[in-house]
Amino acid sequence: MLLTYSALQSTLHKNNLIAVFAMVLSPQDAAGALRDIEAAQARSAKLHGYARSSPQLLLWGVLWVIGYGLNDFFPAYSGAIWGAVVPIGLIAGFAALRGTGHEVGWRYGAVAVTFVAFFAAAFFILWPINPKQIAALIPLGVAAAYVIAGIWWGPRYVTTGIAIAALTLAGFVLLKQHFFLWMAGVGGAALILAGIWLKRA
């Protein structure tokens, strides 16, 4: 009898708690709580994306310093320089993504092929095109890609893309010589700083 009374008392206590919570949590409160959860999930996804992108920016910043720097000093070997730098960057970038445990699969290769095909088609249409124009067009394409990514996935990508585009255009317009050296120092540094910025987000 005592056990039955205790069980009944416990049930009534639970029902009272449920009733209290039902009265306290209005539909507006419930909707607000769901919005807070969705906002937290979106922020978490954005920060995770920044963390994944950071090594890529650091990697390509260093490669820009090397590639553009060598291109400025040895312009006759431009094809060989970038023929080595770009594959190294793609392979190292793929390895960096795999190292984070993120499944990249065919998408990384598809993005790389898309960029290569786009620039090959652009050069074909614009030919004859001089090395300085090529050296400016590629960073502008990359900058546009970052701005587009930022529209969907986070404002820091937008800032990075705008900075790359602005620095590229400034050097292209203002420098008659050593534009490659400008892109090595300023462009490469911009990517490296952006990588550090994303990592600390």
The answer to which of 102-111, 159-168, 177-186 has the lowest mean pLDDT is 102-111
Average pLDDT over residues 65-69: 93
Is pLDDT of 190 > 60?
A: yes
* Model confidence pLDDT, tens digit, residues 132-142: 999 899 899 98
Number of helical (H) and strand (E) elements in the chain, helices listed first: 8, 0
The answer to which of 59-63, 70-74, 105-109, 149-153 has the lowest mean pLDDT is 105-109
Q: Roughly how many angstroms between the first and final C-alpha of the chain, as a whole number?
A: 62
Beta strands in the chain (DSSP E): none
Cα–Cα distance measured from residue 61 to residue 31, given in angstroms and rounded to the nearest whole number: 44
pLDDT at 171 (0 to 100): 92
Q: 133 Cβ partners below 8 Å, 6+ apart?
A: 126
Residue 55 CB neighbours (<10 A)? 19
Confidence class of residue 16 from pLDDT cuts 50, 70 and 90?
A: low
Is pLDDT of 100 > 80?
A: no
